[in-house]
Structure 1
Amino acid sequence: MKLVTIFGGTGFLGRYVARRMAKEGWRVRCACRRPNDSPFVRTYGVVGQVEPVFCNIRDDESVRGVLRGADAVVNCVGILAENGKQNFRALQHEGAGRIAKLAAEAGVERLVQVSAIGASEKAPSAYARTKALGEKAVMENFPGAMIVRPSIIFGHEDEFFNRFAGMARMAPILPMVGAGTKFQPVYVDDVAEAIQMGVTGKADPGVYELGGPDVSTFREWMQEMLAVIKRRALIINTPMPIAKLMGKGFDGVKWLSGGLIQPPLTFDQVQNLGQDNVVGDGVKTFADLGIQPLATEAILPDYLWRFRPSGQYASANESADNLRSGPGGVKGGSNRAGFS
């Protein structure tokens, strides 16, 4: 039975990759910082097939240890905000290079590096710059690697649609930065399938940009989300100059608190939100892998229903309303199928 080591294997994307590789019949080693908090990955396979193990990708010996005996490696590690030693340079640049270098030394056959659309050494955000530097370090040490650059990833555990749906449930105002920025959200399991193809050798090496079938602005995606959760909210865009000042202010509060206060928005995130996040021209995509990505409309209702005013009973209540108001509906009928 072959073995794959997945760095960040207990995270949002990593757990989908782990599940797929277990179903493929591989042993799966999920390298993470807190294995004791991630026993759920063991259920993805038979007893002993999937194991969470400790790893600090800032340390050579730690990385070398979890690579021992691996046939393939996937690096899903990435952060949206820095926190102490867990910074962009250490994780997304140096960490990626360390994994590639030690994987090559260990004789690993295949490596898949998860980057991001917009990765560029000239990008305004440190997040995007270090993603690009990580790609460069990977290719220097492991030239046959597959690099995937997904757009915003959505799915049941995402921090995009879930976050804003939660905000809409709490207040009638939905503030945002970069309302006109274009996004191409991609379903998490579609990205995991692409990675699976790289691990099993069914995909050629190289860079792949992965986006869903639809491109819309940030504002339009929020409008779709509001329609799914059946709520109304006033979408207010914060002008970029003001957003940058806010980001710097929040960063200052974090610094003064010694990292105890985590900001809702950082200056680097503001910089990133000012750039479109869509698949470019002339690049390898899902089409080159033979994968037809799922649209948001096919997935969002499956997990955003809990943010609806009536939660799981919203559809039942809607059906009851239609019965009462329809041409042949019951007049003076029951109390919305018994739910409120």
Structure 2
Amino acid sequence: MTRGPITVFGGTGFLGRAIVRELADAGQRVRIAARRPTLPDWAEDGDQLELVTADIRDEASLEAALAGASAAVNAVSLYVASRRVSFAAIHVEGAGRLARLARQAGIERLVQISGIGATADSSSAYVRARARGEAAVLDAFPRAIIVRPGVLFGPHDAFLSTLSGLTRLPVIPLFGQGETRLQPVHVVDVARALIRLLGEPLTERRLFELGGPDVMRYRDILTLVLAHRKRDRRLLPVPFFIWRMLATLLSVLPDPPLTRDQVILMQRDNVVGDGAGTFHHLGIVPRSLRESLPECLATE
């Protein structure tokens, strides 16, 4: 493992928390950097955890969070843009700023969290920002490692918990025909992959796409959740143009439950592509969604 502390930016988020825990369990000193940093509820007296207030839009706070660190992980994410903060501000400008300051600070290793399907020509502003952010990071820190996870799941996640909530409805609306293919990945498996990337000799690979062992249609994932909850519901196909209209109507809300970018994401398969590093290259066997359901959906 690296010499100085590892700063995890976004260390209080869903993936960030898992990364912090895996690092702490490995005996690593961890610096949790966030706008409102808090110690995790599992923290014990012997854990080498420190808190630092940092905003990826603020250069001075980033410099303080990087001071003396040997490695950094950027797990900061924004899923819903607003008038106050844009995707570009976080995923492009913020990511590039962090990479530039990390290189200036002499950081040995930087891991940038992105997402499967990040392309600069996407019709989704979120996806375009992810792709531009990757480019900004590599421009500022050429030896940075880009990690693109698939749809994350785990206890208290946003993915399975949302689907579980849908099973209470008498009829469950599908995105289109529900044929979009996903490759859900357990959040802990992604965290363990990052531990490998931070602790082993620097790999020649600079891009990793991490998906679970199963490629599944959206409707099949819903069917699994229904079976787990022992519920029988009708799945109703809803054309994507209706979802886009609904997202437009909901966009006036301060915290819309559905956005245009989310609809666009559900129109394209989200699976590991060719040529990138995978769990296989890191010697990790990821757990399946089916086997993880009892752990992830233990209660309602």
Same-fold status (TM-score > 0.5): yes
Q: Is 1:291 the counterpart of 2:284 in the alignment?
A: yes
Specify the alignment match of 1:22 in structure 2: 24
Q: CA RMSD in A?
A: 1.6
Identity fraction in percent = 43
Specify the alignment match of 1:311 in structure 2: none
**How far 1:176 sits from its partner (Å)?**
3.2
Cα-to-partner distance string for 1:45-82 (whole Å, 9 max, x where unaligned) = 54461123211110111111111111000011112211
Q: Is 1:265 the counterpart of 2:267 in the alignment?
A: no
Structure 1 counterpart of 2:151, one-letter code: I
Structure 2 counterpart of 1:283, one-letter code: A
Equivalent positions of 1:100-249 (< 5 A) are 100-169=99-168, 171-178=169-176, 179-202=178-201, 204=203, 205-249=205-249
Between the two structures, name the one with larger relative contact order (CA 8 Å, sep ≥ 6).
2
Cα-to-partner distance string for 1:195-242 (whole Å, 9 max, x where unaligned) = 111111345140001100101111111111111121122222320111
Identify unmatched segments of 5+ residues in structure 1: 308-340
**1:152–1:186 contact (8 Å) kept in structure 2:** yes
**1:5–1:66 contact (8 Å) kept in structure 2:** yes
- In structure 2, the CA distance between the partners of 1:183 and 1:8, relative to structure 1 (3 Å rule), is same
**1:74–1:112 contact (8 Å) kept in structure 2:** yes
**d(CA) in 2 for partners of 1:198, 1:305:** 31
**How far 1:44 sits from its partner (Å)?**
3.5
Specify the alignment match of 1:75 in structure 2: 74
**d(CA) in 2 for partners of 1:7, 1:238:** 38
**2:183–2:215 contact (8 Å) kept in structure 1:** yes
**How far 1:305 sits from its partner (Å)?**
3.0
Give aligned pairs, total. 296
Cα-to-partner distance string for 1:91-134 (whole Å, 9 max, x where unaligned) = 11111111100000000000011100000001111111111011
Q: Normalization by structure 1: what TM-score?
A: 0.83
**How far 1:147 sits from its partner (Å)?**
0.9
**d(CA) in 2 for partners of 1:82, 1:135:** 18
Cα-to-partner distance string for 1:137-156 (whole Å, 9 max, x where unaligned) = 11111111111101101100
Cα-to-partner distance string for 1:254-288 (whole Å, 9 max, x where unaligned) = 2xxxx3xx211111211111111001122211111
**1:10–1:52 contact (8 Å) kept in structure 2:** no
Identify unmatched segments of 5+ residues in structure 2: none
Structure 1 counterpart of 2:272, one-letter code: V
Structure 2 counterpart of 1:285, one-letter code: T
Which protein is bigger by CA-based radius of gyration? Answer: 1
Q: Normalization by structure 2: what TM-score?
A: 0.94
- In structure 2, the CA distance between the partners of 1:198 and 1:104, relative to structure 1 (3 Å rule), is same
- In structure 2, the CA distance between the partners of 1:51 and 1:240, relative to structure 1 (3 Å rule), is same
Equivalent positions of 1:327-338 (< 5 A) are none
Specify the alignment match of 2:34 in structure 1: 32
**d(CA) in 2 for partners of 1:16, 1:140:** 28
SS in 2 for 1:225: helix
Structure 1 counterpart of 2:173, one-letter code: P
Equivalent positions of 1:43-122 (< 5 A) are 43-44=42-43, 46-47=45-46, 49-122=48-121
**2:80–2:259 contact (8 Å) kept in structure 1:** yes
Specify the alignment match of 1:335 in structure 2: none
Cα-to-partner distance string for 1:284-324 (whole Å, 9 max, x where unaligned) = 111111111111122111131324xxxxxxxxxxxxxxxxx
